[in-house]
């Protein structure tokens, strides 16, 4: 097991009607002037934004709102949010939404006290040393951004999709998680979110670090819970308990609970970022296409953990032929993805003729000569994996 | 699933040589004057205390020490610590040890700014509203006190063993966890610690709250990790990886990670507290005696979860006779406890003739007419369970 730090200071307030506590929580964290960031009109139409504003008013908290954040969030709204926040002397950015809204809020929070271009943080030109506080009312369980210090933003002019990690500054101070708010999430987005949270666990589980028993068992346990609850939320979107289990799985998949002491991989996420940056697909759907391809390639090159995963997570019987064991697990994973409505190849993703040389070039230009850690992928390797997804 | 709050703001710094960061961590948390609380002479003889003091000196942190805290910590050293802390204008209490040292440090931290008797907090006469900060260098994985806001202290004059819960005030701000520090822990204490962490998970797992899939799977995963690693640390005390896995299991067993959204039980802990308060036995050994008895009684009165636990945690085949399935799981649990050197009845605990009426009286006087939640135990029930442990 490797040395590690686990630091998850976010206060998670989970359950029915918890959004009514937002104002009180903001006061508890000593903030007074709030920028509310949200996505489409559904937060307005559903009355959620109104309930939150009422809660803020009751707590005597100043607030101003900025909507219109879209999936695969881009840099434009970040600049706009920074300007609004500066002009209104905001001290906390409240994200009402899912990963895109939260990641935009984190970018705004980092950008406000910084004199240069916030994009500097995403290309490694500058480090975040101070930021406004960020808090969350979660409506889409998927990215796990409510419990992480990470943010992913795409620069529109260059189609660069880059990530920033600054847990000490950008981890939300609190996250309100009411499963009822996810009842209206369409099946497609629900399934893409489920795929994303599973992928966050895979990126930790596929490791070469030896003797990480507790990390393995917790990863396997959360995956088993997702596999059990996912079909329920697809067939019965208003079932509270299944929605609640899925919502919490999305958080623990990415706040550091899973995978302690493991070297992490992240190759598949980076490969997917190129697809969503260039073709605008849903991140989770892109992962549903790329993870089976990555796993299939690994079954031929570094099979051990894939075979273990097939046995423990998918219930495949142990056998002497580890590759066959691994491939049976991958087949069950693909069947699961199809059952919840996800694509598992480029064609069903709606990108029948991807420009693979472009994706490979962009991947290695953004991430370097080698990508990933379970196997360090060369350009030749990543090209092979993209082709396995055709 | 019930509504819940998960808030674990402790910074866990885990791995080899991490105690050398203690001074830096204290400065990071803006403390300057530290009371170091420790147990026996082993912290001095091993050089650990010296290394910590050097680290504090290098960081320019004032420190003063108080040793001699024993297992089943009592009120005397708390009063002494409060006096030392007040006289030296201490702002952080650094516990170097296991549960007893940490719980004593928390009692001191709560007592310093309080004008009355610190015992008021333990008998519910007063609530902790402010406290000195607490931090930890952990040497015994067992109680999970490094990640919890709880403290258990015994009042010597009355043999009352009482617990306090004040997570907002008493959760350690950081915990340094170096598995190497546990290499010298005797097999008995190691095994008692393992039993204690398993018991912390059981108290959450045995619940009537429906549909807690993710909580179930995480509890089962951590238990499987403990069952796999425990025999290794007993037979090979200097094996880093097994010690590391066990150390982390002890933390997640009690910081709220396991059992989210579940109504918890705690009857067995309270029944054990009476035994250790009256007979001075090791808490974990007392739990090794009481949990099989509690489970056996439950197999006759509320079998469902015991049967599930037997199947998922101990690998007992599913069968139509749930009681038989449960009893086979309990038999495997007892065999496991005996394998790691724990007693499983009063006799092997060294208390061949316990005064059961005294234990029952004291239990219900301290905890009320009913104890526990999975089944609310009456005096008759708790007497039957104590007798099952004979």
Nearest C-alpha in B relative to A167: B11
Residue B40 has pLDDT above 90, yes or no: no
Interface touch B244/A1, C-beta < 8 Å:
yes
Interface of B with A (CB under 8 A): 1-16, 18, 210-214, 216-218, 220-222, 224-225, 228-229, 240-242, 244-245, 248-249, 252, 257, 260-261
**What is the pLDDT at residue A372?**
98
**pTM of model > 0.90:** yes
Q: How far is A239 from chain B (nearest CA, A)?
A: 11
Three-state SS for B352? coil
Q: Report pLDDT digits (tens) over B238-297.
A: 999 999 999 999 999 999 999 999 999 999 999 999 999 999 999 999 999 999 999 999
B176 to chain A, minimum CA–CA distance in Å? 9
Task: Identify whether the C-beta of residue A202 lies closer than 8 Å to the C-beta of residue A268.
Answer: yes
Nearest CA among A301, A283, A292 for reference residue A375: A301
Digit-coded pLDDT (tens) for B124-177: 999 999 999 999 999 999 999 999 999 999 999 998 989 999 999 999 999 999
A350-362 tens-digit pLDDT: 999 999 999 999 9
Q: Which of B149, B169, B218, B220 to mutate to test the interface with A (most CBs of A within 10 A)?
A: B218
Percent of chain A surpassing pLDDT 90:
98
Contact between chains at A217 and B225 (C-beta distance less than 8 A): yes
Q: What share of chain A is helix, strand, coil (3-state, %, to 5)?
A: 55, 15, 35
Report residue B132 as tokens: 């000195």
pLDDT for A292 beyond 90: yes
CA distance A214 to chain B (A): 5
Q: How far apart are CA A203 and CA A196, in angstroms?
A: 11
Select the residue of A8, A211, A241 nearest B241 (Cβ to Cβ): A211
Of A101-110, A127-136, B159-168, which range is least confident? B159-168
**CA distance, residue A356 to nearest chain B CA (Å):** 38
Confidence of residue B194 (pLDDT cuts 50, 70, 90): very high
The pLDDT value recorded for residue A50 is 97
Instruction: Find the CB nearest A213 among B1, B229, B240.
Output: B229
Nearest chain A residue to B312, by CA = A221
Partner residue opposite B18 with nearest CB, options A3, A14, A222? A3
Three-class SS state of A374: coil
- Confidence bin at B42 (pLDDT 50/70/90): confident
Residue partners of A83: CB distance under 8 A and separation at least 6: none
Half-sphere exposure of A386 (CA within 13 A, CB side): 26
Residue A41 clears pLDDT 90, i.e. is over it: no
What residue has token string 């406004």? A132
| A4·B16 Cβ contact <8 A | no
- Mean pLDDT within A106-128: 98
What burial class does residue A228 get, using C-beta atoms within 10 Å of its C-beta: 0-12 exposed, 13-18 middle, 19+ buried?
middle
Q: Which residue has the tokens 């209206």?
A: A184
CB A119 within 8 A of CB A76: no
CA distance B199 to B251: 13
Per-residue pLDDT, B90: 98
Residue among B2, B240, B257 whose CB faces A257 most closely? B257
Mean predicted confidence (pLDDT) in A349-375 = 97
Q: d(Cα A34, Cα A135) in Å, to the nearest integer?
A: 10
SS3 A165: strand
Which residues of chain A does B249 touch, with a Cβ-Cβ cutoff of 8 Å?
214
Query: Residue B62 burial (CB < 10 Å; 0-12/13-18/19+)?
Result: middle
Q: What is the mean pLDDT of residues A54-72?
A: 97
- Has residue A96 got a pLDDT over 90? yes
Instruction: Encode pLDDT of B309-346 as tens digits.
Output: 999 999 999 999 999 999 999 999 999 999 999 999 99
Could you tell me if A150 and A69 are in contact, meaning their C-beta atoms sit under 8 angstroms apart? Answer: no
Instruction: Look at residue B41 in the predicted model and tell me its pLDDT.
Output: 81
Q: What is the Cα–Cα distance from A184 to A181, expressed in whole angstroms? A: 7
Query: How does strand B160-165 pair with strand B150-155?
Result: antiparallel
pLDDT at B4 over 90: yes
Residue A40 confidence class, pLDDT cut points 50, 70, 90: confident
Q: Which of B3, B213, B224 sits opposite A229 (nearest CB)?
A: B213
Task: Determine the pLDDT at residue A42.
Answer: 87
Looking at beta carbons, which residues of chain A come within 8 Å of B136? none
Task: For residue B9, give the chain A residue with the closest CA.
Answer: A9
Contacts of A368 (CB under 8 A, 6+ apart): none
> How many residue contacts between A and B have a Cβ separation below 8 Å?
126
- Of the pLDDT bands very low, low, confident and very high (cuts 50, 70, 90), residue A377 is very high
Q: What per-residue confidence (pLDDT) applies to A228?
A: 98
The mean predicted confidence, pLDDT, of chain A is: 97
Q: Could you say which of B1, B6, B218 has the minimum Cβ distance to residue A222?
A: B218
Whether B15 sits inside 8 A of A2 (CB atoms) is yes
pLDDT digits (tens, 9 = 90+) for A318-337: 999 999 999 999 999 999 99
The percentage of residues in chain B with a pLDDT greater than 90, rounded to a whole number, is: 98
């Amino acid at each position: 097991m490797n040395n590690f730090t686990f630091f998850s200071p976010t206060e998670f307030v989970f359950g029915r009607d918890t959004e009514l506590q937002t104002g009180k929580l903001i006061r508890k964290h000593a903030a007074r002037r709030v920028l509310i960031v949200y996505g489409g009109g559904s937060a307005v139409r559903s009355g959620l934004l109104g309930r939150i504003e009422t809660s803020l008013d009751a707590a005597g908290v100043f607030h101003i709102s900025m909507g219109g954040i879209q999936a695969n969030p881009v840099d434009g709204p970040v600049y706009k949010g920074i300007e609004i926040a500066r002009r209104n002397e905001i001290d906390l950015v409240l994200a009402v939404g899912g990963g895109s809204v939260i990641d935009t809020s984190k970018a705004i929070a980092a950008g406000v006290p910084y004199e240069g271009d916030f994009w500097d943080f995403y290309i490694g030109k500058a480090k975040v040393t101070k930021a406004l506080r960020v808090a969350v009312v979660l409506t889409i369980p998927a990215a796990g951004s409510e419990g992480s210090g990470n943010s992913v933003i795409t620069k529109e002019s260059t189609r660069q999709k880059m990530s920033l990690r600054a847990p000490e500054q950008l981890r939300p101070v609190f996250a309100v998680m009411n499963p009822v708010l996810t009842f209206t999430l369409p099946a497609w987005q629900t399934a893409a979110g489920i795929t994303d949270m599973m992928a966050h666990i895979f990126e930790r589980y596929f490791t070469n670090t030896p003797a990480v028993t507790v990390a393995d068992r917790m990863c396997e346990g959360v995956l088993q819970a997702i596999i059990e609850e996912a079909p329920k939320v697809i067939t019965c979107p208003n079932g509270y308990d299944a929605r609640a289990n899925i919502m919490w799985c999305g958080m623990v998949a990415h706040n550091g609970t899973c995978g302690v002491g493991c070297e992490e991989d992240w190759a598949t996420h980076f490969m997917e970022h190129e697809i969503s940056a260039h073709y605008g697909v849903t991140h989770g759907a892109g992962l549903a296409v790329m993870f089976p391809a990555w796993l299939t390639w690994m079954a031929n090159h570094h099979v051990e953990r894939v075979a273990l995963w097939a046995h423990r997570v998918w219930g495949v019987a142990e056998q002497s032929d580890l590759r066959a064991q691994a491939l049976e697990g991958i087949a069950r994973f693909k069947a699961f993805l199809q059952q919840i409505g996800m694509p598992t190849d480029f064609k069903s993703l709606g990108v029948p003729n991807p420009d693979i040389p472009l994706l490979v070039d962009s991947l290695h230009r953004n991430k370097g000569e080698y990508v990933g850690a379970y196997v360090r992928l060369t350009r030749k390797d990543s090209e092979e994996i993209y082709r396995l997804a055709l």
